[in-house]
Amino acid sequence: MSNTTPRLPTYFISHGGGPWPWMKKEMGHAYDKLEASLADMPRQIGRTPAAILMVSAHWEEPAFTVMGNPRPPMIYDYGGFPAHTYEVHYDAPGSPELARRVQSLIESAGLPVRIDPERGFDHGMFSPMAAIYPKADVPVVQLSLRRGLDPAEHIALGRAIAPLRDENVLIVGSGLSYHNLRAFGPQARDVSKAFDDWLGDTALRATGERRNERLLQWSAAPAARIAHPREEHLIPLMVAVGAAEDEAGELVYHEEGFMGGIAVSSYRFG
């Protein structure tokens, strides 16, 4: 790869609920703003990456686990949606070669890692990807979270895989900046905004150790445990930040009326 090619940024995206791209008739315009932000990512990047490494909130393993399947199947990891959403397909290819490269980088950092040769795509991957690359023509490899959801470990994971940015691989953390399924809608307006304001201040106005320290102490932030009773939808942010540790963040999506009233955001780093 040419040294003149700029390194790719990293992203933390809010991926929305369930199979929303296939439910436009049922959901009306609820996802228009999120969809537009995701669809704009190729323009922001300025070129087509060789592959995408996606860290989804919907996959946790005892050790960091990399998808090694060359033709990943679909995992319909949601419930209560219309029948047709259990037949949707996002047929992007996998990349066993990239999986082995990711495994090597993580091993070199002294972190536990394995390859799963069977794993398929979950909706934390295929729902946003249907908006980002609707033709499913860019290879995608998923990388799991590690059980325990230790922020420091996931920042270290991001640091370990950062060289991929110079190899034309786009690193995307896929979660939600607010994820409390029991507190959606207008009643969550104030608490979601309180946490979102803190998150934006952390992502956009700090870098390096200062940003890391704030993220390590995320649970002390305003309304943190209301926004994330369990933090699996926030932890992909740690990976995106770790892979762009000393680089500034930029807000690429923000909405304060999402799903009836909550504040949500997505960020790009580098």
**Structure confidence by residue, pLDDT tens digits, 4-20:** 678 999 999 999 889 99
pLDDT at 194 over 50: yes
Q: pLDDT grade, residue 188 (50/70/90)?
A: confident
By the 8 A CB rule, do 45 and 270 touch? Answer: no
pLDDT for 101-147, tens place per residue?
A: 999 999 999 999 999 999 999 999 999 999 999 999 999 999 999 99
pLDDT at 1 over 50: no
Domain boundaries, the chain: 10-269
Q: What is the pTM of this model?
A: 0.96
Give me the mean pLDDT over the 15-32 stretch: 92
Domain covering 10-269 assigned CATH 3.40.50.620 in the classification: no
Query: What's residue 4's pLDDT?
Result: 62
pLDDT for 209-254, tens place per residue?
A: 999 999 999 999 999 999 999 999 999 999 999 999 999 999 999 9
pLDDT at 269 over 90: yes
pLDDT for 68-85, tens place per residue?
A: 999 999 999 999 999 999
pLDDT for 85-96, tens place per residue?
A: 999 999 999 999
